[in-house]
Amino acid sequence: MSFKEELQKKTAEIEEILKEYLPEETGFQKTVLEAVNYSVLAGGKRLRPMLMQETFRMFGGEGELVKPFMAAMEMIHTYSLVHDDLPAMDNDEYRRGKKTTHAVYGEAMGILAGDALLNLAFETASEAFQMEISPRTARACQILSRKAGIYGMIGGQVVDVESEGQPLSREKLDFIYRLKTSALIEASMMIGAVLAGATDEELAAVESVASDVGLAFQIQDDILDVTSTLEVLGKPIHSDDKNNKTTYVTLEGLDKARKDVEEISQRALTTLRSLKYENRFLEELIQMLITREK
């Protein structure tokens, strides 16, 4: 099977896992349940649950324990997009060619559906305790909540929102990228590792790999905004320039950005390969994320 075929197969498998943890659309509160399902099933690469599952497999993890955490992670990612799209935030009517949640269900329901998803993420993660109450499940819950919160994703989101239209220092940009983008990728890979029984030392290595992957992914995003075309990217190019947005490219220039993506991603792969476990698909997946053209 080619990497692309394998990727498709695994993505389809993750879609099925997500559906297992989504609510039935029934009862007086039906509208929010529909909005929750609409938001999660609106598409996406399912990258975070995939990184979690592949890291779990890499460390020899077997069984179902990772599944509720995969679903929980995608719910957190989804709620962050739903709230990000709200009128008071980015005010986006479309995402991936589909109407955003508040555009379909109204603003109040957009807020509530996001809240419902964030809460459901922790409710879903707690289901792991039905299978096993142990240091590894407890640790996974701690990592999930920490990396999604004020010292993780939300922290980055806040600084990003506050910095809009203002020039950014390299230090602040790094902070935003590390928290807004890397934090959930770190949590994904760390939870996979921890559930498979990785040691603290291995966990630290995984965190640094994931941090680099997130950073390289984000810089590549900045590069594509400058170098791609509308047709290839499927979304407007030069949008950062139009919005006067400080990016890695505006700060460091295109050449250095390209060089740094290469360096950061090589560092990630070297650290990953230094572990005594191996997962060829995971390596290819990381490679793809960083060298992608859209």
Q: Is 36 in the site for a copy of itself (CB under 8 A)?
A: yes
Q: Cα–Cα distance between 224 and 292 in angstroms, integer?
A: 9
Site for a copy of itself in 236-275 (CB under 8 A): none
Number of residues lying near a copy of itself (CB under 8 A): 55
> CB-wise, 142 or 229, nearer to a copy of itself?
142
What whole-number distance in Å separates Cα of residue 251 and Cα of residue 167?
10
Span near a copy of itself by CB under 8 A; candidates 62-70, 132-140, 197-205, 226-234? 132-140
How far apart (Å, rounded) are the C-alpha atoms in residues 203 and 251? 32
Options 46, 67, 83, 95; binder of a copy of itself; rule CB under 8 A: 83
Q: Does residue number 41 form part of the binding site for a copy of itself (CB under 8 A)?
A: no
By the rule CB under 8 A, 20 interacts with a copy of itself: no
On the 0-12 / 13-18 / 19+ scale of CB atoms within 10 A, 36 is buried
Give yes or no for a contact between 284 and 2, defined as CB atoms under 8 angstroms apart. no
Nearest-angstrom CA–CA distance, 7 and 5:
5
Is there a contact between 40 and 258 (Cβ–Cβ < 8 Å)?
Answer: no
Q: Does residue number 33 form part of the binding site for a copy of itself (CB under 8 A)?
A: yes
CB closer to a copy of itself out of 122 and 281: 122
Is 175 a residue that touches a copy of itself (CB under 8 A)? yes
What is the 8-class DSSP label of residue 203? Answer: H
Per CB under 8 A, 157 contacts a copy of itself:
yes
Instruction: Give the span between the Cα atoms of 117 and 148, in whole angstroms.
Output: 13
With contacts defined by CB under 8 A, name the span among 6-14, 137-145, 203-211, 243-251 that binds a copy of itself.
Answer: 137-145
Q: CB of 222: closest distance to a copy of itself in angstroms? A: 19
Q: Which CB atom, from 29 or from 199, has the smaller least distance to a copy of itself?
A: 29
